[in-house]
Amino acid sequence: MMHIDGKTKLFAIIGNPVSHSFSPAMHNAVFRAAGVNGVYVPILSKNIGETMRGLRALGFQGASVTVPHKEAVMEWVDVLDPVARRIGAVNTLVFEQAPGDDKSICIGLNTDCAGSNKALAEQIELSGIRALVLGAGGAAKAVAFGLAAAGAGEITIANRTLEKAEALAQVLDCRALSLAEAGAVQADILINTTSIGMAPRHDLSPVDASLLPRFQVVMDIVYAPLETRLLKEAKAGGCITIDGLTMLQYQGAEQLKLWTGIEPPASIMRNALLQALERL
């Protein structure tokens, strides 16, 4: 049972839509298990400026930011973390109150990058690795930037819209291809950051099954379904597989550390996410 009183700290996820998010289940489960006097609520945000003013006025201590505000919110923070600046997207807000000052300082950060790196680094050494990243959207930027920061030897970005792959590859000084050309790439790891394979189109995969055995590790950041067609076929091809809930959990753990200073219990977070997935 959650205890709410005059000292309860307020956290939110802001986005549009937001009701589908698993983050409230994950963060509130940790607050309950770790005895943090906090509550994390979904807020439907149609106007990012008004939402930011509201969060400040109501004394929120932190927030997650999701589609479509990850880029636009950068204009509304006081301090932009260098990693978030490089990626060009903020998914985490920390509101810090200076002692004796009523006005809070809002810091914008990106934890998707650390979440993706942690999920991958549990399975394979990232330094010097050859990586094929499918997709060039917001999530791809965080994943690819994380790989570059971890010292990957070679990164290839393959996307349906080639111009978007080229734009990201230019920032990272790496190779860009169209998604149709991805089959020719030799790499150690494959990461799907496109939404291909997401329910209700779980019959789809971004890559032909015959190409998968060449990869040591395959990570899909799509998490509904938990075992996508890509992951099923990669497992059958002998690859180590990483599901999309792993990155979601690890980016959330980084947020909790920033907001509360605690090292959140991993099994509580994973179970809360699995239960949220079952309720879908």
Least separation in angstroms between residue 186's CB and ligand NAP is 22
Query: What is the signed CA dihedral for 80, 127, 170, 69, rounded to 10 degrees?
Result: -30
Distance CA 142, CA 193 (A): 10
CA–CA separation, 151 vs 134, rounded Å? 19
Q: Which is nearer to ligand NAP, 136 or 187 (CB)?
A: 136
Amino acid at 176: A
Nearer to ligand NAP, 224 or 262 (CB): 224
CB of 142 to ligand NAP, least distance (A): 7
Whichever of 52 and 221 has its CB closer to ligand NAP, that residue is: 221
Q: How far is CA 12 from CA 28, 47, 260, in A?
A: 11, 15, 14
Asked whether 114 and 250 are in contact (CB, 8 A), the reply is yes
**Shorter beta-carbon distance to ligand NAP: residue 28 or 194:** 194
The residue ranges that bind ligand NAP (CB under 6 A) are 67, 112, 135-140, 159-161, 164, 179, 193-196, 198, 221-223, 244, 247-248, 251
- Any idea of the CA torsion for 69, 71, 74, 75, to the nearest 10 degrees? -80
Of the residues 46, 70, 103, 164, only one is catalytic, namely 70
**Beta-strand (E) ranges in 118-238?**
130-134, 154-159, 175-178, 189-192, 217-220
Q: How far is the CB of 201 from ligand NAP (least distance, A)?
A: 8
- Give the alpha-carbon dihedral of 231, 234, 240, 242, to 10 degrees: -20
Q: Is 103 a catalytic residue?
A: no
Tell me whether residue 105 or residue 226 sits nearer to ligand NAP (CB atom). 226
Closest CA relative to residue 30, chosen from 246, 242, 273, 221: 273
End-to-end Cα, the chain, rounded Å: 23
Q: Which positions are annotated as active-site residues?
A: 70
